[in-house]
Amino acid sequence: MPKDYSRRYYRTQYQTEDLTYFQVKFKETDLAIGISRDGYCDNLKKLVEKEVIKLRGDLETYIAVHSEFRTSFSPVSAQPGAPPIVREMIRAGTLAGVGPMAAVAGAIAQAVGRLLERHVREVIVENGGDIYLQSRAKRKVAVLAGESPFSHRIAVKVRAEECPVGVCTSSGTVGPSISLGRADAAVVKAADAALADAVATGAGNLIGDGESLMEAVEYARGIEEVRGVLIISGKEMAAWGDIEIVPL
């Protein structure tokens, strides 16, 4: 039976002992956050909750006036007075050739991660499979790919020297997010998590019945700020760039 990824069961499986974890949920935003053990305090959780409410408020206020921001599958232009998170999403969508909402999870994870970096040495923010990571140690990001035989068996290695970094995943077979393709997992690494999220969506959209994985890889490769990409569909896998695949 397919696993219900909406319950986020995978989070407890891949927590590491050197970090303290907590969760922040507000409306559709559901963040799993790991920070340096010696840096945790209750005030940090309250700080994140306040930031998430602000970010979502900025988005919802903007969408109320500019509805195309939410519905467009193609890039849109920023209107005067657009808040920072809206501009980041529009930039990411424009570079990736997709609508700005394709970058929302990565953009929120990144905004929260950058906030926490001011207070702690190490931060991992996961938002529905989209991750912003600032670490002093090497980390493994597990790849969840639905019913593919690769799912839960491989990970993408992240080195300390490449942080901060975004590692984001889009899937046409896992989770509630909209995807126009059928990839089990399109994983993209980039310095900007909003961009990684948008490109992962764009790459995943290119995988349909009988489509070549290399088409999606070449698309991601053509975007200058992308560092690496991994595409999984069933028993097939294709990768390019700075993507070190390791076993779990």
Instruction: Give residue-wise pLDDT tens across range 216-241.
Output: 999 999 999 999 999 999 999 999 99
The answer to whether 156 and 244 have CB atoms below 8 angstroms apart is: yes
- Looking at residue 179, its pLDDT comes to 46
- Looking at residue 2, its pLDDT comes to 41
Strands of the sheet with 29-36, listed across from one edge: 19-26, 29-36, 123-127, 130-134, 165-170, 185-190, 226-233, 236-241
> Which of 147, 146, 123, 118 has the alpha carbon at shortest distance from 136?
123
The answer to whether 189 and 156 have CB atoms below 8 angstroms apart is: yes
Q: Give the bridge partners for 240, in sequence order.
A: 229
Cis-peptide into 247, omega within 30 deg: no
Residue 135: alpha-carbon gap to chain centroid: 16
- Looking at residue 1, its pLDDT comes to 34
The H or E element spanning position 110 is helix 104-117
- Looking at residue 8, its pLDDT comes to 55
| Alpha-carbon gap, residue 177 to 128, rounded angstroms | 9
| Alpha-carbon gap, residue 171 to 174, rounded angstroms | 5
Please report, in tens digits, the pLDDT of each residue of the chain (248 residues total): 344 444 555 566 567 888 999 999 999 999 999 999 888 888 999 999 999 999 999 999 999 999 999 999 999 999 999 999 999 999 999 999 999 999 999 999 999 999 999 999 999 999 988 999 999 999 999 998 888 999 899 999 999 999 999 999 998 555 444 445 567 899 999 999 999 999 999 999 998 755 579 999 999 999 999 999 999 999 999 999 999 999 98
- Looking at residue 12, its pLDDT comes to 60
> Which of 24, 232, 53 has the alpha carbon at shortest distance from 147?
232
> Which of 115, 91, 104, 112 has the alpha carbon at shortest distance from 59?
104
The contacts found for 75-79 with CB under 8 angstroms, 24 or more apart, are 75/99, 75/100, 76/100
Domains and CATH numbers, the chain: 19-247 (3.10.520.10)
